[in-house]
Structure 1
Amino acid sequence: MEVPPLSQSSTTPTVQPTDEHATVPAQAGQATQQVATPNDAVSTGAAPQPANNTRADNTRADNTRADNSVAPLEDATEAWTPPTWDEVVREHADRVYRLAYRLSGNAHDAEDLTQETFIRVFRSLASYKPGTFEGWLHRITTNLFLDMARRRSRVRMEGLPEDTDRIVGDDPSPEQVYSETHLDPDLQTALDELPPEFRAAVVLCDVEGLSYEEIGATLGVKLGTVRSRIHRGRQALKASLERAAATRSREALG
C-alpha cells in the first residue's frame, strides 16, 4: 500500500514573509533578489497549481493501479469452469476402464477400480486445479491399483473373462471395447506376473504411451526410478513371453 505524499503544509512550518525577509538588500551593481517562501510557486512560466490537485492526481493513480491489479485475478478465475459429473464420465469412462483392466488383468477388479476412480474424482472435482485432466485420471487409477495390490498377498488373475459385455459406456460395441481393452493373452499373463510397481510403469509407458516425466508425476517417483522400473519390467516381460512361446512350441510338437 503506497503512502500518499505529504503536503508541504504538514512538513514545513509556514513562514510569513516580512519586509525584512522579503528582499535581500542589493549590493552595488546587483539586482534585488526575492526570497521564496513555502507558499510561493516555483517560477516555471506556468500558473501555480493548487496542492489539492496533486493529491487528487495521486489518489486517481493509486485507484488505477489497484483496479489493474485486480482485473487479472478476475480473468484467471473465470478462465476455467470445472466439467460436470456427467461430462467427465461420458468422456473418460472407457479410458479409465481400459487402464484399470490392463493394470489389474481382470474385469472384476477393473470395474471396481473404475468405480472407485470416479468416486475420487467426484469428491475432488470442485478443488481440481486446471491442468492435464487425463494425467490426473491416470494418477488416481494407478494409485488405487497399487493400493489394492499392496493389500493382497498376490493379485488375482483370470483368463479371458466371460462377462466381456459388462463394460463401462454404451456407445462402443462389446467386440470393439473387448479388442481395445484386452491385450494378447500371453502379454496380459506376463504383465500379471510382474510386481505391481513394474507393471504400472510398463503399462503407462508401453501401452498408454505416457512419457517418462508423466509416469514419474503419476507414480510420484523420480525419473531414474521410472527408467529402472521400465527396464526391469521389460526384461521380465521378455523372459515370460519367451517361456510362453517355448511351452507353446512343445505342446504343438507333442
Structure 2
Amino acid sequence: MSRSRADDRQHEVATAHFASVWRFLRTLGVPSHAVDDAAQEVFVVVARKLEKIRPGCEKSFLFSTAVHVARQLRRKHRLEVLAVDPDDESLDPVLHDTPEDSLGKKEQQDLLLVLLDGLTEELRTAFVLSEIEGQSVPEIAAVLGIPLGTATSRVRRGRDKFEERLKRMQTRMRGGR
C-alpha cells in the first residue's frame, strides 16, 4: 500500500471510529484523565498494523485493541474498578445544548458507570460490546478471541448481573432495602 493511501485509510479509520473507541474505553473503566492517551495508543497500534487489517474489519480490530489497552492501563495503575468522580467528564466527548441537558446526561452516564463497575472485566467487556456498542455475539467472540458459546454466556451473564444491580439500586432509591 502506498504511503498516501495508507495515510488516507488511517485518517478514514480514525475519523469514523474515534468517538466510539473513546466511549468504549471509558465504559471499560479507563478513568477520564487517561482515556485520551488510551485512545491515542489504540490508534498508534492501528497505524503500525494497518496493512494487516482487512478492509471492513477495522472496528473489530479497534475494539480488540481497546480491550488490551484498557487492561494494560488498569494493571499499570493498579485500578481494579472505576471510581465515579462527580467532576468527571462526560462519556461522550461532544458538548450538550443546555446545562440542564448536560446535567441530566451526566447523571445517567455516572449511573451507568456505577452499574458497570460491579461487573467483572470479562462480563463488563462483553456486555458493553453488546448493549452499548451494538456488536453481535459472533463479532464479540472475534474481538475477544473467545469461543462463540463463551461470548454468548458472558453477554447473558453480564446482562443479568447489570439488571440485578439496576433493580437493587432502584429499590434503594425508592427507599426500600
TM-score, normalization by structure 2: 0.77
Partner of 1:138: 63
Q: Note if contact 1:106-1:161 (Cα within 8 Å) is conserved in structure 2.
A: no
Q: 2:122 is matched with which residue: 187, 193, 197?
A: 197
Q: Is 1:235 aligned to residue 156 of structure 2?
A: no
Q: Note if contact 1:204-1:215 (Cα within 8 Å) is conserved in structure 2.
A: yes
Partner of 2:15: 90
Q: 1:186 is matched with which residue: 107, 111, 122?
A: 111
Partner of 2:81: 155
Partner of 2:135: 210
Indicate the SS of the match to 1:124. Answer: helix
CA distance in 2, matches of 1:93, 1:218: 17
Structure 1 pair 241/199, CA: closer, same or farther in 2 (3 Å)? same
Query: Which deviates further from its counterpart, 191-200 or 91-100?
Result: 91-100
RMSD value over aligned CA atoms?
3.1
Structure 1 pair 232/120, CA: closer, same or farther in 2 (3 Å)? same
Structure 1 pair 166/139, CA: closer, same or farther in 2 (3 Å)? closer
Q: Note if contact 1:101-1:181 (Cα within 8 Å) is conserved in structure 2.
A: no
Structure 1 pair 166/207, CA: closer, same or farther in 2 (3 Å)? closer
How far the C-alpha of 1:215 sits from its partner, in A, is 0.2
Unaligned runs of 5+ in 2: none
CA distance in 2, matches of 1:125, 1:154: 31
How far the C-alpha of 1:158 sits from its partner, in A, is 1.8
CA distance in 2, matches of 1:189, 1:141: 20
Indicate the SS of the match to 2:80. Answer: coil
Partner of 1:174: 95
- Map of 1:107-126 to 2, 5 A cutoff? 107-126=32-51
- What do the CA deviations read for 1:179-213 (whole angstroms, capped 9, x no partner)? 98985433321111211110000000011111100
TM-score, normalization by structure 1: 0.56
Q: Is 1:101 aligned to residue 26 of structure 2?
A: yes
Q: 1 or 2, which has the higher helix percentage?
A: 2
How far the C-alpha of 1:147 sits from its partner, in A, is 3.3
How far the C-alpha of 1:164 sits from its partner, in A, is 4.5
Q: Aligned residues, how many? A: 167
How far the C-alpha of 1:165 sits from its partner, in A, is 10
User: Structure 2 counterpart of 1:89, which letter?
Assistant: A
User: Structure 1 counterpart of 2:119, which letter?
Assistant: L
CA distance in 2, matches of 1:123, 1:107: 25
How far the C-alpha of 1:161 sits from its partner, in A, is 3.7
How far the C-alpha of 1:128 sits from its partner, in A, is 2.8
How far the C-alpha of 1:220 sits from its partner, in A, is 0.3
CA distance in 2, matches of 1:104, 1:184: 12
Answer 1 or 2: higher relative contact order, Cα 8 Å, separation at least 6.
Answer: 2
Partner of 2:52: 127
CA distance in 2, matches of 1:199, 1:240: 13
